[in-house]
Amino acid sequence: MATTTADSTAEARRQVEIPSKRVTPSQIEALSQRVVCGGEREMVEVEQPFTGKPLGWVPKSRPEDVDAAFERARAAQREWRQTSFAERKAILLRFHDLVMERQDELLDLLQLECGKARRHAYEEALDVAIVARYYANTAEMHLKPQKRQGAFPILTQTWEYHHPLGVVGIISPWNYPITLSVSDAVPALAAGNGVVCKPDSQTPYSALWGFALLEEAGLPRDVVQVVTGSGSELGPSIVDNADYMMFTGSTATGRTVAERAGKNLIGSSMELGGKNAMIVLDDANVARAVEGAERALFSNAGQLCISVERLFVHESIADEFTQRLAERTRKMKLGTSLDYSSDMGSLISESQLETVREHVEDATSKGARVLAGGNARPDLGPYFYEPTMLESVRDGMTLFRDETFGPVVSVSRFSDIDDVVERANDSDYGLNFSLWTGNTRRGRAIATRLQAGTVNVNEGYVATWASVDAPMGGMKASGLGRRHGAVGIQKYTDSQTISIQRLLPIAPPPMVAQGLWARFMNVSLRLLRRLPGVR
C-alpha cells in the first residue's frame, strides 16, 4: 500500500487492470470521490491482494476532514431523526433488495479488495442483507415507547423512551469490510442517528459501495460520511467528535479507543481479538465435524475474528478425525477466480503473510509437527499461504496464545470434559467457540461452561452470527458490548424514563407526620408484596 500525490496517480489510474466486467475503474474512481476531503490530499493506493496490483486510490483524509464530516452528518441527522420508523423501514428494505439484485457486483468487489474466495464473500453479502431486513422489521419494536410498572399501581404511570444519540463513529477493519462498516451502521441509522465511518485503508471500497447503495435506496446523502486514512491519525478526532463509538479491530487498539471514549463520557462497543476453540466430543458425527471444521478453521483464509485456531478432539476419535481433516485440508483448492471454484483465497497483505509465516516457523522450530500445509504459495499470488494443521503445539510457542489471524490451527487431544473446558477457557480471549456432539442437550450444558460470547453447537460460527435476533460479542479481552438483537440498536440510543404521579405524592401529605406516613408505607409495601403481577 503506497501513498502518493494526487497528480502522480493520474496516469496510473488510467492503466489499472481489474479482472471484472461488473467492477470497472470508473466505478472505483466514483467511489473514491465520496470520501470527505477538503482540497488536495495525498492518495493512498488500494491493492488487489490476488495480484499485488493497484485497484485504485483514495484520499488520505486529515483530522480537519473528520471535523467536517461530523459537522455535515450532525446537520443532516437533525432532520433524519424526525423521520418515522415506517420511512426508515422502507429505505432499509429497498437496500436489502438492492444488495440481493447487485450481489455479483458486490462479490467481485469483495474478492478484488480482500482476496477472499467467493464463497466467503457470499457470507458477507448475506450478512448485510439479513441485518438490514432484521432492523427494518424490528427497529420500532425495540425502540417504541414502552409502558413500565410505576412506583405505585394507579398512582404512578411510567414510560420508557429511546432517543437517538446523534452521530455514531465507526472504525472498521479490512477483513469483513462491508459487514463491519455498513451492517454496524444499519441499526444506528434505524435508530435515527447519523454515521461517520472510517474503513480500513486497505479495503475502503466495499464500505463506500454499501453506503452509496443505502443512498440509492433513499437515505439522505449527508447522513453518512466516510473518511479514509490512518487510524492512528484520524482515530482520536473520530472519538472526540462522536456521540458513540463502534470499533472492530485488535484488542490493543480497542483499549485505546475505550479509554478515550471513557474520558469523553461516551459509550462504546467493540469486537476485538480471539483465540477461538473447537471441541469435538467422543459422540460427534465425525464426517459432519470434519466438514464443519474446514469451514470453521479456514473461512476467509482464517482472517475472521470468530474462526477457530485451537482444535481439541476426544482421544477415542482423534486418529480418524485428524487423518480425515488433514486429507481434506490438503485437497482444498486455493485460487483467484471470481467464481465459486476456489475453496480458499489469499491473505490480505505482505504483513499478514509474514505474521502467519513467523507463527508457523516459530512453532515448528520448537517441536510442533505439520500435519498439512505449512507453506507460502507465491505461485498463486503474492500473499497466498496453504491451510495449515499443526500438532504438538505447547505453551511457549507464539501461536499457542497469540492470535495468528490466518489459516493455521493447532490440534490436540483430550479425554476428560472438565479438562478440555479448562483448557479451552485458558485464554485471555473469549469470542466464539464451537462444540460438536451427538447429544445436543449435553452440548448445550457444556456450552454454558465455555467462556465465550457465542458458542455454536454442531456448527463453526455461522449459526450464532446469523441469529441476528440474539446479541453477539466477546467476553474477557475479546470485546465490550454487543451487536445484533435489541441491544444492538438500543446501544445507539439514550434511554429516558418519564413518570406521572397522580392524586397523592410519594411523600407525606400536609398535616401527616413523617412517622405515621412511614408506617402507612410499610403496610402498603407488605400488601404489594402479595399482589400478583407486581414486581
Is 101 one of the annotated active-site residues of the chain? no
Q: How far is CA 282 from the centre of its chain?
A: 32
**CA dist., res. 237 & res. 408, Å (int):** 36
Q: The C-alpha cell of 329 is what?
A: 485440508
- Check 113, 123, 124, 271 and give the catalytic one: 271
Q: What is the DSSP string of 269-313?
A: EEE----EEEEE-TTS-HHHHHHHHHHHHHGGGG--TTSEEEEEE
SS3 243: coil
Is 37 one of the annotated active-site residues of the chain? no
Closest CA to 105 of 79, 81, 128, 135: 128
Alpha helices, DSSP H, located in 21-61: 25-32
- Other Cβ atoms closer than 10 A to 440: 12
Q: Which long-range contacts (CB under 8 A, 24 or more apart) does 266-269 make?
A: 266/239, 266/242, 267/165, 267/481, 267/491, 268/244, 268/480, 268/481, 269/244, 269/245, 269/473, 269/479, 269/480, 269/481, 269/482, 269/483, 269/491
Closest CA to 508 of 525, 520, 526, 522: 520
* Residue where the block lists cell 477493519: 173
- Check 47, 305, 309, 386 and give the catalytic one: 305
Q: Which residues are catalytic?
A: 271, 305
